[in-house]
Chain A
Amino acid sequence: MSIAESSFHYVADLVRRETSMLYQQGKEYLVAARLLPLARESGDADVDVYVRRLKTDASERRKAIDALTINETSWFRDNAPYQAFTDVLLPQAIAARQATRKVSIWSAACSSGQEAYSLSILLDQQLPLGWTAEILATDVSTAMLERVKAGRYSQVEMNRGLPATHLVRYFTRVGSEWEVSPELRRVVTTQHLNLATTFPPLPTFDIVFLRNVLIYFDLETKRDILRRIHARVAPGGALLLGSSETTLDLTDSWEREAVGRVQVHRPIQPAAAFGLAAPTRAAG
C-alpha cells in the first residue's frame, strides 16, 4: 500500500484548504489507509489513480475529505487534544481550583455530543475524589442538543475511536443503539447557544473546546466570537481550536502555547498588556 508524494501533497493541500486539518510528513500511510476503501469502491487500481479522479470529481472529493477528517461523529476525535487535556490542561485546572474543587468545561458547537461525552469519560477516570466537574455542551441546533440529551449512538458510530473497554464501561445497549451511562451524563448539561450572537449568562470556564467550527464564519464574526469567548475563560485557562485553526491574524488577546501535539490558546489579561504581572498557572 503506498501513495506517491505528489498525490499526498495534493490530498494534504485539499484537506487543509477545506477543513484546516493538517496531514503532515510522516502521515502518508494514514492518508493511504483512509483513501484505499474509497479507491476500491470507485474501481481504481490504487490510491494514486483515485487521487487523479479527485481532481475532476467534486462528489468524490467530498467523500475523500469526510474519510480523511473522519467526520464529526468520532470519539476522541484527532486524539491529540484529549491527550493534552489528560497530560496538561486538566492537571492545571485542578491546581488552579483547589478552593472550589470544581472544574468547568465548555464544549461549544457540540454537535451530537461525542466530544462532551469523550471529555466526560476522561473526567471520570482522572478527576480526584471529592471534586465535581461540569461540561456545558452548546449548539445552535436544537436537534443536535436533543441527540446529546438522549446520549444514544448507533453501532456504526460506536465502532469509531472508542476503545472496547470504554464501550463496556460507559455504555449500555438500548435496542440497536448504545446509550451513555448515568455517570457520563451526570456531568454534561446542554444549552442552546448561537455563537454568532450575544451569549446568554455563562460561567467562567477552565477549558473551552471550540473545534472546527470557526471555519464556518466570516472574519468579523470569528473575531466577535473569540472576543466573547475571551471574557468567559478563566485567567490561565485554555481554548482549543481545530487541528490547525489559530487565533493568529484574528486577535492579539490570545497567547499560543504548544501543549503536546496541539496548540492551546491562553487568554491574555488586559493588565498584562501594560506589562503588569498576570496570574499564571503552574506549568503542567
Chain B
Amino acid sequence: MMLQGPGLTDLHAVVDEVWSSFLGHEEPLLPALPDPASAGGITWSAATSVTGAWNGVVTVEIPDAVAHTATERMLGLVAGQALTTEDVADAVGELVNMIGGNVKSLMPGPSVLSLPLVARGTIASPSDLAEVSCLDLTWAGAPLRITVLARRDAPTQAADRSARNSADTRESA
C-alpha cells in the first residue's frame, strides 16, 4: 500500500516560509546531508499529529543551539538571555505546530491537527508509522531534521476532539 505524504519540494517550501517569517533572513536554511555525527548536543524533538482523511505525524528535531536561538527570536529576547525549559518547549512547539499545520493542508482532508508535543531527546517512531518524507537542513551551521510519517493502517475513527476538550475542562470546572 503506497503511503501518501507531502512532496519534498512542498515540505521544503513550508519549512522555508516558517523559518524566514519568524527567524529572519540573515542565515538561510540550506540543504544538508544527514550526518549522525553532528547529532551531538542535546536535541529537542517536537511532534504534532494529523488525524482524518490522512493520518500522520510531523516531527522537528533540532539541537539545543537552534532551539535557543529560535526561542530568543520568537520571544523577542536579547541573545544570550536565560531561557526556561518552558520557553524553549513553547517556541519549538509553535514551530512544529506551524509546519504540521501547513503539511496538514497539503494532504487530503478533512483532518484535525493535534496540540504539539515537545521533548528533550529523540522521539522513537512507533512501528505503525512509516517515514514518507525527510528533510535534512542546516541553519547557521547547525543541523535540523523535519520528518513526515504516515500511519500504515488508518484508525477506525478520527480523534474525538470533544472528548479531549472535555477531559481538559474537567480541571478548570
A interface vs B, CB < 8 Å? 41, 154-156, 173, 175-176
Contacts and interface: CB of A to CB of B under 8 A. Distances in A.
16 contacts: A41-B24, A154-B13, A154-B17, A155-B17, A156-B17, A156-B21, A173-B105, A175-B7, A175-B10, A175-B106, A176-B10, A176-B13, A176-B14, A176-B17, A176-B102, A176-B106
Q: What is the size category of the interface that chain B forms with chain A?
A: 10 to 19
Contacts of A176: 10, 13-14, 17, 102, 106
Contacts of B17: 154-156, 176
A154 B105 CA distance: 14
Given A154-B13, A175-B106, 8 more contacts: A41-B24, A154-B17, A155-B17, A156-B17, A176-B13, A176-B14, A176-B17, A176-B102
Nearest to B105: A173
A175 B13 CA distance: 10
A41 B17 CA distance: 17
A220 to B, nearest CB: 39
Interface string B72-109: 00000000000000000000000000000010011000
Interface string B22-34: 0010000000000
Contacts of B102: 176
A155 B15 CA distance: 13
A156 B16 CA distance: 12
Interface in B18-61: 21, 24
A41 B21 CA distance: 12
A176 B10 CA distance: 6
A41 B7 CA distance: 33
B133 to A, nearest CB: 13
Contacts of A41: 24
A132 to B, nearest CB: 35
Contacts of B7: 175
Contacts of A155: 17
Nearest to B24: A41
A15 to B, nearest CB: 22
A175 B102 CA distance: 10
A69 to B, nearest CB: 19
Nearest to A175: B10
A278 B144 CA distance: 70
Contacts of A154: 13, 17
A154 B7 CA distance: 16
Contacts of A156: 17, 21
